[in-house]
Amino acid sequence: MAHDPSKDEPTLAAGDFSPWMGEMDRALRGNGGSDVPCDGCTACCRSSQFVHIGPDEADTLAHIPADLLFPAPRLPVGHVLLGYDDRGHCPMLIDNRCSIYEHRPRTCRTYDCRVLPAAGLEGDDDKVSIARQARRWRFTFPTRGDRVEYDAVGAAATFLDQHQHVVSAASVPMSPTQIAVLAIQVHRVFLRHDEATGEPSVVDPDPEVVRTEVLRVIGATDAT
């Protein structure tokens, strides 16, 4: 078995789970960014990722050369992608720093590799640097609610991974990152609160209920 260098590196404090979930939920809804304590890490900038930029992101578009952008497939006119260079690096990464950090795309502002450990998933096979960084994060669970919510996200991720044909009409399987993000967005259907005590617990919902929630989330995302 190949040695995993990330196991030799110090762990990283990911924060208390439920407060992080609240922040991530707001970011995914478009109500702010995700405050990731990257501490100089640029793994997501060096992992051959296409970055989506919406037509409403005028400030971002004004700070990126037009010849680095191309139309985003299957999206309306005006939606573009920022590609990567022959090393797999974002072309706006200069001297290992984002040269447009204050003007970076919304996709970058909301990206958070902590979604992977939050869902109990390993990273994408072709995003080795991100997977290595993600494995270092450690959440804390000061209350039972934190732990139950974490278990619900994990249950959602497992369901989505095993039932992709139920929740998606796409022929291409979802990546671990896509599964993790979607699990965070739909995890509430895997939670139940006791009517008498209000105490939460993880449940096994009807697949059709999950599918309905997935379609609602996707529809809300497409509308933004």
What DSSP letter does each residue of 161-176 carry, written as one string?
HHTHHHH---SSPPPH
Domain that holds residue 212: 141-223
Q: What is the pLDDT of residue 5?
A: 53
| Interval 55-65: pLDDT, tens | 999 999 999 99
Round the average pLDDT of the chain to a whole number and report it: 87
pTM, whole model, 2 decimals?
Answer: 0.82
Does residue 95 lie within any of the structural domains? yes
Flag residues of the chain having pLDDT under 50.
Answer: 1, 3, 6, 223
Domain total for the chain? 2
Does residue 94 lie within any of the structural domains? yes
Q: What is the pLDDT of residue 1?
A: 47
Does residue 190 lie within any of the structural domains? yes
> What is the enclosing helix (H) or strand (E) of 15?
strand 12-16
Residues 38 and 79 in one domain: yes
Residues 96 and 182 in one domain: no
